[in-house]
Amino acid sequence: MKSTAHIKGHPIHPILIVFPIAFFIGTLLFDILALAGNRYDFAFVAICLQIAGVVSALLAAVPGIIDYLFTVPPKSSAKKRGTQHGLLNIFVVVLFFVAWLLKRDPYLPAFWIILLELAGVVGLGISGWMGGTLVYRNQIGVNPRYAGAGKWKEMHIDGRPEKVEVATADELQTDQMKLVHVHNKRIVLAKTEKGYVAFDDRCTHKGGSLAGGAMIYGTVQCPWHGSQFEATTGQVKAGPAKEGIVTYAVTEHNGKVYLNF
C-alpha cells in the first residue's frame, strides 16, 4: 500500500526514525561512559542527544500518524500492530523525557537514570521490530508495480450518492486497480479482461488491502497471505480466507464508469 506521507513515493516515516533511534541509543551510551569515567563533558553530550532524540521522535511521529490513519487498512491485524507500535513509541519518548527531567536532581544517583534509558532503548528495539513487521510483512508504504498494475491510483468522494462516477472507460488498463474512498468505505475498482468490477478493499482473512495486491485474469490476490478472490463474484478461490468479499455493481455509460449502491 502506497504511503500517504511520502516524497515521490518514498515514505517519510522510515526516513526520519533513524534520527531518534541514533540519538536515544547515543544518550544511553554517553551516560554510561560519563558514569564510568566520571566525565561531565560526556554527560553534557548525553543531554544534548536526549533533547535531539525527543524532538526528532516527535517529528518522525507526524508522517507515522498520517500513514497509521490513512494507509494502514482499518480493522486489520496491521492496524492493531500499528496501534501497539505507536503507543510503545510514546512510552519510549516519555521515558527519555522523564530521564532528562531527573538529571536536574543532583542527588539522584545516575544509575537510576541509566536504568530508565536502558528500558527506553529496549522499548525502542521492540517497537522497531514491530515497525519492521509493518513494512516487510504488512507492506505498509510498499508500492509494488506488478505487470499491468500501472501506477497507484486513489480517489476520495464526498457525500453518499447512490451512483458515483469513479473513472473514465479508458482510465485503467487491464489488471489495474484503483482505490476509491466513498460511503465511508474503501472500495477497489479494477479492470479485468471482461470489463470493470468493484469489491471491498478488505481481505476477509486478516484485513489486508486488496488494492495493494495483484489482479490477474479476474482474480485478485491479497498481498499478506495470498488469499485469492474471484473479482466479479467475490468468491474465495484460494485460502487462507474462508469468506468471500463484498462486490458492487459497476456500469459504463458514455465513456464513464459508475459505482452503484
From 129, 111, 126, 143, select the one nearest 223 (Cα to Cα).
Answer: 143
Residue 178: what residue type?
A: K
Provide the minimum distance between the beta carbon of 79 and ligand FES in the complex, in angstroms, as a whole number: 12
**Site track 195-214 with ligand FES (rule: CB under 6 A), x = hit:** --------x-xxxx------
**Closest CB to ligand FES among 6 and 202?**
202
Does 241 bind ligand FES (CB under 6 A)? Our answer is: yes
Does 227 bind ligand FES (CB under 6 A)? Our answer is: yes
Beta bridge partners of 192: 195
Provide the minimum distance between the beta carbon of 175 and ligand FES in the complex, in angstroms, as a whole number: 19
Alpha carbons within 13 angstroms on the beta-carbon side of residue 17 total 18
Alpha carbons within 13 angstroms on the beta-carbon side of residue 35 total 14
**Closest CB to ligand FES among 225 and 237?**
225
Does 222 bind ligand FES (CB under 6 A)? Our answer is: yes
Provide the minimum distance between the beta carbon of 76 and ligand FES in the complex, in angstroms, as a whole number: 7
Place of cell 517497537: 127
CA–CA separation, 246 vs 233, rounded Å? Answer: 8
Provide the minimum distance between the beta carbon of 205 and ligand FES in the complex, in angstroms, as a whole number: 3
**Closest CB to ligand FES among 153 and 225?**
225
Beta bridge partners of 39: none
- Contact (Cβ atoms closer than 8 angstroms) between residue 85 and residue 135: no
CA–CA separation, 146 vs 150, rounded Å? Answer: 8
Does 172 bind ligand FES (CB under 6 A)? Our answer is: no
Does 257 bind ligand FES (CB under 6 A)? Our answer is: no
Provide the minimum distance between the beta carbon of 132 and ligand FES in the complex, in angstroms, as a whole number: 18
Q: Which of residues 60-119 bind ligand FES (CB under 6 A)?
A: none
Segment contacting ligand FES (CB under 6 A): 15-23, 97-105, 163-171, 221-229?
Answer: 221-229
Query: Side by side, which strands form the sheet with 214-216?
Result: 214-216, 219-221, 228-230, 236-238
Place of cell 486488496: 210
Does 240 bind ligand FES (CB under 6 A)? Our answer is: yes
- Contact (Cβ atoms closer than 8 angstroms) between residue 155 and residue 181: yes
- Site residues, ligand FES (CB under 6 A): 203, 205-208, 222, 224-227, 240-241
